[in-house]
Amino acid sequence: MKILIENILAVLPGGPKVRSIYISDGKIESVDTRPADFVPDKTINGSGRLLIPGLINAHTHAYMTVFRNYADDLPFNDWLFDKIMPLEDSLTPDDCYWGTLLGIMEMLRSGTTAFADMYIHTNCAPRAVSDSGIRAVLSRGLSGGEGDPAGARRLRDALDEIEAWSGHDNITFMLAPHAPYTCDPGYQREIAREAARLGLRVNIHVSESLAEIETIRERYGCSPVELIDRNGLLTDKTLAAHCVQLDDRDISLFAERGASIVTNPISNLKLANGVAPVLKMLGAGINVALGTDSAASNNSLNLFRDLNYLTLLHKGINHDAEAVSARTGLEIATVNGARALGLSGTGKIEAGMAADLAVIDLDRPNMQPVNDPVAAIAYSAFGSEVETVIVGGRVLMEKCEFLTIDGEKVIDEVNKVCKRIYG
């Protein structure tokens, strides 16, 4: 399939320019120079449109759309242990499949072309990703202790899932020890050994709340970051979500190990966990990516909202209007996300990169006049301006219509799940 996106204002690595984009075999073949014998199967008119690299949601739990607006305005521990975890026990694999598809619809609708996911039932997320055509780096959440049969079973399930789906074009896997407070040190070391053996990335929640810092200090006499480092889980293949409560030593450890951090500004605010020290992280040279976290704690998977918060929040708390500029924010939401997820072939509009792209309608009152398109993305857009989304050279949404997903059916199925689990 060859696609031509003609004369579109494109956010290129060097800045926005009007260019024609030639796509073939899933990749951007050329930016502006027409390849010899290029005959497009499909042409998209770029007039009045903006082309951005697809956004990368580097931390979510897509199946949790079924919990959207179910447990709000609660302290973190009450929210997680009293409300969310008991309900999770009532979810079947099929429930998770429909919930994940709804999450994927929401992400595509707002220009996300790849995401990192952590979940409770295996094989549902890969099915939903495969059926929809989006790109994802997936991981079954692991919790347990050394010698604990349930923990061993979870790890075995995760490894079986990885083997079953190996070689899929749009899917790769990580191992996901849930958090330092749900995996004991022996279990952490076991997961670290398996990740090293298989060359897999590690997806983990770290230093999300003050209560976590206290718990880990009481149990082990160190910070959560020091603990996972001791147990071999802090490496250049680690993707650590949240990292709200980091001290300077934690930040140095991240920088030394080359691990990536995913900041989740809205989820951290909503659960009253605080604001991550993103400026210090960036200053230390850490690769910082952006994630929504789940629809139970955000309550949206629209990365435009988090991009907006990311760029505003750190200006406000640091009294520094230059902090996390629109450009830096967009890089965090694209290139840095790609690096964090090990998706080196995406995140930029450049020849040779995967054609993972979002077309934005600029003919909206909130997007006019177009003085600075990058500022418009960070400060003026809602995400609803996204009208066409391409992943790996395949059009998944065109003029706001899903081409691979039956949206009505998905919403209907998710509502059935909710009716059942909420009684």
Length of the chain: 423
Least distance in Å: CB of 419 to Zn ion?
26
- Report which residue type is found at 60: T
**Given the complex with Zn ion, which of 293 and 413 has the nearer CB atom?**
293
- What distances in angstroms separate CA 144 from CA 179, 216, 266, 341, one per listed residue? 10, 15, 28, 25
**Given the complex with Zn ion, which of 226 and 293 has the nearer CB atom?**
293
| Torsion sign (Cα): 269, 271, 273, 276 | negative
Nearest residue to 382 (alpha-carbon basis) of 52, 109, 100: 109
**Given the complex with Zn ion, which of 19 and 270 has the nearer CB atom?**
270
Tokens of 14: 């060097």
**Calpha distance 205→276 (Å, rounded):** 13
Least distance in Å: CB of 241 to Zn ion?
5
Least distance in Å: CB of 115 to Zn ion?
12
**Given the complex with Zn ion, which of 203 and 380 has the nearer CB atom?**
203
**Given the complex with Zn ion, which of 293 and 306 has the nearer CB atom?**
293
| φ, ψ at 202 (rounded to 5°) | -120, 130
Least distance in Å: CB of 88 to Zn ion?
13
Task: Please name the helix (run of DSSP H) or strand (run of DSSP E) that holds residue 376, with its range, or none.
Answer: none
Secondary structure of residue 317 in the 3-state scheme: helix
| φ, ψ at 12 (rounded to 5°) | -90, 165
Least distance in Å: CB of 61 to Zn ion?
6
**Given the complex with Zn ion, which of 141 and 329 has the nearer CB atom?**
141
| CA torsion, ordered 409, 411, 417, 419, to nearest 10 deg | -120
Least distance in Å: CB of 212 to Zn ion?
13
Q: Name the residue whose CB lies closest to Zn ion.
A: 293
**Calpha distance 326→178 (Å, rounded):** 31
Interacting residues with Zn ion (CB under 5 A): 293
Nearest residue to 76 (alpha-carbon basis) of 292, 268, 306: 268
Least distance in Å: CB of 264 to Zn ion?
7
- Percent of residues in the chain assigned helix, strand, coil, to nearest 5: 40, 25, 35
Least distance in Å: CB of 248 to Zn ion?
25
Least distance in Å: CB of 293 to Zn ion?
5
**Given the complex with Zn ion, which of 176 and 251 has the nearer CB atom?**
176
User: What does the DSSP 8-state code read for residue 183?
Assistant: B
**Given the complex with Zn ion, which of 171 and 296 has the nearer CB atom?**
296
**Given the complex with Zn ion, which of 243 and 377 has the nearer CB atom?**
243
- What distances in angstroms separate CA 238 from CA 25, 158, 206, 264, 328, one per listed residue? 31, 17, 11, 16, 22
**Calpha distance 48→99 (Å, rounded):** 34
